[in-house]
């Protein structure tokens, strides 16, 4: 009898333990925290810092475990990071492609491991579009177009005349070679220039790698070569424009007056420069992509359909609205 009671108790205990375990596993599955591997390209600009902060904050707000990796401006580091995310078995991978090409192999590895990939900020070119589930970013070509449209209207409305000759002379500071941000902006702005070749002349166009320091150095060399001939500077980002402003002032010229300064991003630094009369216009490139990224990741993992490409909203801010708009700027 005692043996029988002991057996019944043992079986009952086993059932209770098994029951508890089952309930826990179910809960753990349902509430399982999403693990996202995110490869950022670096910290080259004020814009990039805002982009990183947006992603980190949005992950926190969404309860997503973010594995963040900084590639220090090297594609090979991004590829290594993506491979390490695959090895860790993260639920989803997101990354900013530093350049457009060279991603097919590593994205195929992610696909084979059944890990969905979301592209953030910059675009890429792969042979098979199913290697990523969605792209969230900005339309860089449109930004270049908007920059040219603003410039063309500004010089017409203000009857801007060249310092020398019969065409307005431009210098251009380009972004990272091979990046969508540089390629798209070159195309959008370049189409406008090509259609108005009787009015504009490009003296020089060179990369400033999206950094303030390089922007300053390259502008110094432009000034050495062309000096007073330069009427307009178009910089692919605000940081390079801010570096160039220092070079122009050091050369004894007035940025924003002697040279029209036009750039892309819309960071607080350029708003301050516009308020001080040292820059003329910025075309917005919105870095606050974190919330949309987290929302998209959750939908993808829940098996919901998402848009393949989503571009965030962007405006154009000339100097005359800078003071009014500055207090509302979030980055």
Which residues of the chain form contacts with ligand AHR (CB under 6 A)? 44-45, 47-48, 121-122, 181, 210, 237, 239, 264-265, 285
Which CB sits closer to ligand AHR, 145 or 237? 237
Give the C-alpha separation, 283 to 315, whole Å.
6
In the chain, what's the furthest Cα-to-Cα distance?
113
Nearest to 36 by CA among 214, 276, 294, 270: 294
Angle between helices 212-226 and 238-250 (to 10 degrees): 50
Which CB sits closer to ligand AHR, 231 or 265? 265
Which CB sits closer to ligand AHR, 86 or 151? 151
Residue 228 Cβ, how far from ligand AHR at the closest point, in Å? 29
Which CB sits closer to ligand AHR, 145 or 169? 145
Residue 183 Cβ, how far from ligand AHR at the closest point, in Å? 11
Residue 135 Cβ, how far from ligand AHR at the closest point, in Å? 13
Residue 45 Cβ, how far from ligand AHR at the closest point, in Å? 4
Which CB sits closer to ligand AHR, 45 or 296? 45
Nearest to 182 by CA among 331, 40, 45: 45
Which CB sits closer to ligand AHR, 282 or 296? 282
Residue 318 Cβ, how far from ligand AHR at the closest point, in Å? 18
Which CB sits closer to ligand AHR, 100 or 239? 239
Residue 180 Cβ, how far from ligand AHR at the closest point, in Å? 7
The tokens for 295 are 């929302």
Residue 147 Cβ, how far from ligand AHR at the closest point, in Å? 12
Residue 138 Cβ, how far from ligand AHR at the closest point, in Å? 7
CA distances from 97 to 60, 102, 119, 269 (A): 23, 10, 7, 25
Which CB sits closer to ligand AHR, 44 or 174? 44
Torsions phi, psi for 321 (to 5 deg):
-105, -5
């Amino acid at each position: 009898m005692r043996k029988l009671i002991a057996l019944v108790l043992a079986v009952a205990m086993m059932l209770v333990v098994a029951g508890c375990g089952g309930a826990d596993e179910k809960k753990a599955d349902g509430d399982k925290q999403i693990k996202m591997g995110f490869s950022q390209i670096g910290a080259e600009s004020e814009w990039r810092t805002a982009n990183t902060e947006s992603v980190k904050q949005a992950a926190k707000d969404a309860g997503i475990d973010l594995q963040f990796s900084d590639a220090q401006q090297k594609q090979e580091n991004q590829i290594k990071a993506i491979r390490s995310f695959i090895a860790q078995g993260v639920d989803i991978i997101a990354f900013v492609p530093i350049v457009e090409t060279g991603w097919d192999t590593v994205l195929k590895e992610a696909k084979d491991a059944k890990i969905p990939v979301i592209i953030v900020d910059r675009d890429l070119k792969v042979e098979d579009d199913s290697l990523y589930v969605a792209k969230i970013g900005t339309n860089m070509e449109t930004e270049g177009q908007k920059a040219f449209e603003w410039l063309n209207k500004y010089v017409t409305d203000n009857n801007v005349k060249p310092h020398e000759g019969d065409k307005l002379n431009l210098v251009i500071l380009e972004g990272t070679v091979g990046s969508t941000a540089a390629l798209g902006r070159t195309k959008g702005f370049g189409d406008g220039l090509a259609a108005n070749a009787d009015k504009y002349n490009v003296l020089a166009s060179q990369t400033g790698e999206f950094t303030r320091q390089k922007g300053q150095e390259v502008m110094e060399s432009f000034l050495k070569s062309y000096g007073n001939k330069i009427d307009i500077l178009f910089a692919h980002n605000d940081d390079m424009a801010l570096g160039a402003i220092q070079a122009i002032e050091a050369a004894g010229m007035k940025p924003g007056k002697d040279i029209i300064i036009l750039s892309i991003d819309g960071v607080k630094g350029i708003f301050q420069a516009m308020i001080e009369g040292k820059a003329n216009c910025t075309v917005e490139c919105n870095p606050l992509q974190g919330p949309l990224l987290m929302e998209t990741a959750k939908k993808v993992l829940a098996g919901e359909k998402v848009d393949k490409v989503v571009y965030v909203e962007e405006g154009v801010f000339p100097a005359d609205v800078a003071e009014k708009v500055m207090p509302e700027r979030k980055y």
